[in-house]
Amino acid sequence: MKNYIREASLSAVKVATEIAYDYVSEIRNQRVFPNVEALLALQNLDGPLPQYSTDSQQVLERLHKYGSPATVASTGGRYFGLVVGGSTPASMGANIVTSAWDQIGITEISSPVTDKLEKVAGRWVLELLKLPPDAFIGFVNGTTISHVSALAAARQHLYQKLGYDIAECGLQNVPKLQIVLSEEIHISVLKALRLLGFGRSQITAVPCDNQGRIIESAVPTFSSKTILVLQAGNINSGNADNFRMLIPQVKQAGGWVHVDGAFGLWAQASREKAALVEGIEEADSWAVDAHKWLNTPYDCGICIVRHKKALRKVMISSSSYLATADVWQTKDMLPEISRRARSVQVWAVISELGAQGIEALVDRCCLYARMFAEGLKSLGFKILNEVVLNQVVACLPDIDLQRAMLQHVQQSGECWFGGTTWQGREAIRISVTSWATTEEDIQRSLKAIATAIDSIQDKENELAL
């Protein structure tokens, strides 16, 4: 039995490694979005509940045969949707290693290596982002849970200052907090607020300018009951709110400032782009993703909170079988108790690229975004945003042509980007976030757009004759 377990595991790892090698080696030749045949073939993974065992090699080979062609090639160089980075070689490799390790990343006892790498990677991230070195930093599944964690700490901190310990007594009979945020705020913030029990009547949505930045003159009067949520990296324009002006006002009033920096916070890692987020380090909490601009595999969000005691007060989970004396453990700082070792991939990519390499990645993506914008302008698009970071929002004068072009390009498999609505206009949105994107990928994508427009117009001309 012992030999069987060993051999079965080794066989599965060998086959999986060969599949991963085959997949990655063909990623640049693969369609960015699967074709109809690949999508229909997914039915081969469906069926009645299996009743008997199947050899692991057969299972994996079936998964590869029908699953791999139906993937989105987000780890390639021509995926420009959802502000998704690729996976750098070291972070992808570390993901494979951590799957083999299968660590439980909640305490030092459950995984000494995960605990150590979380502390090291966390310290490195704080240094890269120029945030307070004594802040708590933890790794969750994405920005949404980062928001939930940080805003829960904000709620606890503000109520405690007002004389209410909600970790002890709950929310009954407490005064309302004032939530102030941008009309352009990301949906993940709104979801986090709902999960925490904040209703719409508590939210003040502040108007934005034509680049999606909060209009400072339109903000309400702040107080000790205020939570202000600011943006580093508007999901469409990539622009940022005025941290240098707004944060001191809230801090002086005794409120809390939380920053949604899912991808835009990485501007701090670039000397060229850091001015866009000047003053951001004075906030109380920050949410950012590693699976966006740091290019780790999915999923890896990062929660950063200045006031550690407030976060621990609301997140602590005591149990006799997990007792660790007075040592602060990750399980006492974040929502998840069952938790994989995300910090290993973060440690790997920072070790691989270093601060200079990460800065070069950010700067290169911003350069390619500007290149994309110039190419779109030459094809007749109007660029709707100031291309200050990695985001491009554009539209054609003919909305029907734009819709047909978008569908044509997506179906072609050459590249992928999506549609959006920006300042009341239907548009396309392009996010350049991957380490794997090259200038050739930009030109190839522009060619795909030009080919789509020409093909549609040629058909329209034929029909008109």
pLDDT digit string, tens, across residues 66-100? 999 999 999 999 999 999 999 999 999 999 999 99
Q: What is the DSSP letter of 33?
A: S
Q: Tell me, what DSSP letter sits at residue 50? A: P
Interatomic CA distance for residues 24 and 30, integer angstroms? 10
Position 337 scores a pLDDT of: 87
d(CA 384, CA 419): 13
State residue 334's pLDDT score.
94
Residue 438, pLDDT score = 98
User: Average pLDDT over the chain, rounded to whole?
Assistant: 95
Phi and psi at residue 416, in whole multiples of 5°?
-145, 130
**Domain ranges across the chain:** 4-73, 93-349, 355-464
Domain 355-464 has CATH 3.90.1150.10: yes
Measured CA distances, 268 to 118, 128, 262, 389 (Å) = 21, 7, 12, 12
Identify the bridge partners of residue 204 per DSSP, sorted by sequence position.
180
pLDDT < 50 stretches in the chain: none
Take residue 65 and report the two structure tokens written for it: 């045969």
What DSSP element (H or E) covers 464?
helix 439-464
- pLDDT, residue 1, reads 61
- CA 336, CA 224: separation in Å to the nearest integer? 30
Three-state SS annotation for 327-351: CCCHHHCCCCCCCCCCHHHHHHHHH
* CATH classification code of 93-349: 3.40.640.10
